[in-house]
Amino acid sequence: MSSLGPHADFIIASYAVTALVVVALIGWIAADYRAQRRVLGDLEQRGVTRRSQRSGGDAASDAT
Amino acid sequence: MAVIDLANPTRFLSLVDRVLPWLAGATALVFAYGLYRVIGAPDDYQQGATVKIMFLHVPAAWLGMMGWGVMTVAALGTLVWRHPLADVAGKAAAPIGAAFTFICLITGSLWGRPMWGTYWVWDARLTSVLVLFLLYLGMLALYWTAEDPNRSARAAAILALVGAINIPIIKFSVEWWNTLHQPASVMRMGGAAIDASILVPLLIMALAFTLLFFTLHFAAMRNEILRRRVRSMRMMQARSA
């Protein structure tokens, strides 16, 4: 293993920025998933259904 | 399950629920091993320890371009085959590709300062990658400002196809123009020009970043399918009110 030498600041900053961006991306996607699940749960609890669910067909045929 | 079944969003969601934990686990394991190899990798005889920035910069550059590649295939799916998940895949790839391109620009800049004496120079490679990042921002603006995903899908697909012209420009910019950026040293005729002690950790990190890309892409596609379901249910609710 080598030491980081005279340019250690640049190397550490690169890894720190990368970690920050990746963690932010993971956090944003996870938070979005929880938010969509919560809203979907609320709507289902109020008895709102998709057209495909009403017709008893495959829910997936309702595109998305 | 046949591949064509994945055109069905409900079946796709069920597949994602099953695959995602394994994909995330594999990503974490390969990252851990990759970082272990990075720590043990020797310094470059010219660049010293700053070569460690390459283990982030190069995979991020590849995945920034691959993200646009995914969006290009998705655009064909939207315009030619009208695949129900194509626009979902394109929209989900945009922020992830933008993030990797951002990492590529920042780490490149941080690598450039000690090696070139400057954070930025307007050479063909750096400028074409910056153009890619701006294209991503344009794509995100298009997706995030459109109320109806059906309307934004066609425009986004056309932008993706037009923007795809930039990918070979990025790749070959170091050969077509005289640039400060070094020429290709991994994907080139005659094989890689990097010693195995550095090339192997680089390829492991590239695999880790690729797994991360697909983990996040699958998760973001799941979110987008749920978002469109919410929209569809709200419209049904509004109609019946």
Tokens of B143: 């997706």
ipTM of the complex: 0.90
Residue B87 belongs to a domain with what CATH number?
1.20.120
Mark yes or no for CB contact A60/B9 under 8 Å: yes
Assigned domain for B100 exists: yes
pLDDT in tens, chain A (64 residues): 458 889 899 999 999 999 999 999 999 999 999 999 999 999 988 888 776 666 554 443 444 4
Residue in chain A lying closest to B6 (CA) = A60
Assigned domain for B16 exists: no
Q: CA of B43, closest CA in chain A: separation in Å? A: 7
pTM of the model: 0.90
Nearest Cα neighbor of B97 from B62, B142, B49 is B62
Tens digits of residue pLDDT in B157-190: 999 999 999 999 999 888 888 887 877 777 666 6
Mean residue pLDDT of chain B comes to 91
Q: How far apart are CA B241 and CA B236, in angstroms?
A: 9
pLDDT at B44 over 50: yes
Predicted pLDDT of residue B91: 96
Assigned domain for B75 exists: yes
Least confident of A28-37, A42-51, B51-60, B61-70: A42-51
For chain B, the domain total comes to: 1
Assigned domain for B5 exists: no
Assigned domain for B66 exists: yes
**Mean per-residue pLDDT, B84-89:** 92
Assigned domain for B194 exists: no
Mark yes or no for CB contact A3/B49 under 8 Å: yes
**Mean per-residue pLDDT, B50-56:** 95
Nearest Cα neighbor of B217 from B135, B103, B133, B96 is B96
Assigned domain for B150 exists: yes
Q: CA of A7, closest CA in chain B: separation in Å? A: 7
Assigned domain for B107 exists: yes
Predicted pLDDT of residue B4: 61
**Cα B141 off chain centre by:** 17
Tens digits of residue pLDDT in B217-229: 999 999 999 999 9
Q: How far apart are CA B24 and CA B33, in angstroms?
A: 14
Range of the domain at B141: 45-180
Contacts of B171 by beta carbon, 8 Å cutoff, 6+ apart:
B65, B184
